[in-house]
Structure 1
Amino acid sequence: MTCPNGATSSRWAEDRCQEGAAVVRARFPTAACRPCKTREQCTRPNNKSDMGRRITFRPQAEYEVIQRARTQEETKEWKEQHAHRAGVEGTISQGVRAFGLRRCRYHGLAKARLQHQLTATAMNFHRLNAWWINTPRARTRVCHLAALRPTAQNSCS
């Protein structure tokens, strides 16, 4: 691997990440990284004494699969297929944020089930009330990366 300033990595090693997946780690020599003027824009060192940069990659086959999946996510068919999931996740988010759905107040399956049913009923009444009084829906947030584009119409998920 070669960095944008022309330094070549000194070592490659196959390893495992914290989750146990196979990765490839590349290391740049300290002598090449320490005098570099753009060092602050580069990856961070692991500790203060080690100024040689390290970078971790997925194996090429896995990387290519991820890139194909990301490309497929931009198609109209994929977006239509996952539109239902986006609605369900919005409902779950509303339940967690506005109705305390993250923690159950009671012990036992029967009482927990009752709490979830009552929470769902409360959410439905809340949505009906918002519909009856024409409360405008909240705008979807735009992430920082999408905001940099000239047309920041897409929201980040």
Structure 2
Amino acid sequence: MQVTVSINGQEYTRDIEPRLLLVHFLRDELGLTGTHWGCDTSNCGTCVVLMNGEPAKSCTVLAATAERYEITTVEGLERDGVLDPVQEGFREKHGLQCGFCTSGMLLTARALLDRNPDPTDDEIRVAISGQICRCTGYATIVRSIRWAAEHPDG
């Protein structure tokens, strides 16, 4: 079947198998490898993208159903060479170690800050609770998102 999907402000049309997952469409069809594929059970959150601004685990979404959404991947956070404040926060406060969960964390944080520009640390923890980081213990991730909230212009 043919699908046309809007990703990071650009439309892509491809012939795909109806059962193709969005994570594989992004990575294999479009080469957008910032979206990671981790657990294959929708538990880890590394594959999170934004669908109309809301976090979604792309390993649970069929690419064919994504046609009616604006998809944002981690590649879409940076604009004209300028990092999103969330990306800056992760850099400033060392919110990553191995980096595998980072793209999903960044997108989840962006959605949180779009809804709530000044979340509490508990609200940040709740927002990222659907994602697993095996390296950091989450303290630096929370500090990174807090930094982004305090520096909305980067």
For the criterion TM > 0.5, the same-fold answer is no
Shorter chain as normaliser: what TM range? Answer: under 0.3
Higher strand proportion: 2
What is the TM-score of this pair, normalised by structure 1?
A: 0.20
Higher relative contact order (CA 8 A, sep 6+): 2
Q: Whose radius of gyration is greater, 1 or 2? A: 1
Higher helix proportion: 1
